[in-house]
Amino acid sequence: MANKVEICGVNTSKLPVLSNEKMRELFKAMHEGDTSAREQLISGNLRLVLSVIQRFTNRGEYVDDLFQVGCIGLIKAIDNFNLDQNVKFSTYAVPMIIGEIRRYLRDNNSIRVSRSLRDIAYKALQVRDALINKNSREPSINEIAEELKIPREEIIFALDAIQEPISLFEPIYHDGGDPIYVMDQIGDEKHVDSNWLEGIAVREALSKLNEREKTILTLRFFEGKTQMEVAEEIGISQAQVSRLEKAALNHIRKHVQF
């Protein structure tokens, strides 16, 4: 009993293993209406679920929950498997088990994605699985879009939206020394020293402008108004706004030099 591990009350060390020949017999019996054959197929492939959930054990989810969700994927695979297809059951079932677990993780993610986006993404994943089974190859986004009659861009956006977030502290390389994390590969262009110094220089230059020039630059570049709108607001001509704006910018350029 040294290898005994219980998940959802199941002693994994005693799970049965079915031969390919036995699997075919059970599938034939199940398709003829034998419900006990279906139960045997489920219990005889629980080890497959266990092997799949190993790759998801670092997500902070309870193993029991992942196992139950994986079993749902297994049952769907058993109910939809076609013996006429020249493919091993495990080859067919593993993507369905993985897909079910990923859907569970996405739905329980703290980052909320709209229902309509999730629906499009899940439909795209279902079509993808169907096309893989039909053509024995990975379909393109265009093929999925054509099947669903949905624009390609919407499918890309939906699939991107349900991607699982990665922790900044997820290790991506480890050679026995200090690991390299995701955050080590991310650049922060907003807070580099040159940007900080430039911001100081711009504020210094702005302080040297007169009130009218400050007002014009604020309305133009911080509030996004046109020169005509600025002219109407402060009561001068558009030509004067253009001249004052140009003079103010030239004044700032003289003080901001790197």
Q: Which amino acid is at 115?
A: R
Q: Which residues pair with 181 in a beta bridge?
A: 171
Which pLDDT belongs to residue 253? 77
19 pLDDT band (50/70/90 cuts)? Answer: confident
Does the pLDDT at position 43 exceed 60? Answer: yes
Which pTM value belongs to this model?
A: 0.43
Show Cβ contacts of residue 78 under 8 Å, excluding neighbours closer than 6 positions. Answer: 30, 38, 41, 42, 45, 93
How far apart, in whole angstroms, are the C-alpha atoms of residue 139 and residue 64? Answer: 33
Please give the structure tokens belonging to residue 29. 């019996």
Q: Which amino acid is at 33?
A: G
Nearest-Å Rg of the Cα atoms of the chain is 31
Show Cβ contacts of residue 229 under 8 Å, excluding neighbours closer than 6 positions. Answer: 219
The residue among 160 and 172 whose pLDDT is bigger is 160
Mean pLDDT of the chain, nearest integer? 79
CA dihedral 160, 164, 166, 170 (to 10 degrees): -140
Provide, rounded to the nearest whole percent, the portion of the chain with pLDDT above 70: 74
The residue among 132 and 198 whose pLDDT is bigger is 132
CA dihedral 206, 210, 215, 218 (to 10 degrees): -10
The residue among 61 and 33 whose pLDDT is bigger is 33
Half-sphere exposure of 149 (CA within 13 A, CB side): 0
Residues present in the chain in total: 258
> Quick one: which H or E segment has residue 212?
helix 211-217
Summarize the confidence of residues 64-84 as an average pLDDT. 88
Q: Hey, what domains does the chain have and what are their CATH numbers?
A: 1-108 (1.20.120.1810), 110-183 (1.10.10.10), 193-255 (1.10.10.10)
DSSP 199: H
How far apart, in whole angstroms, are the C-alpha atoms of residue 211 and residue 189? Answer: 32
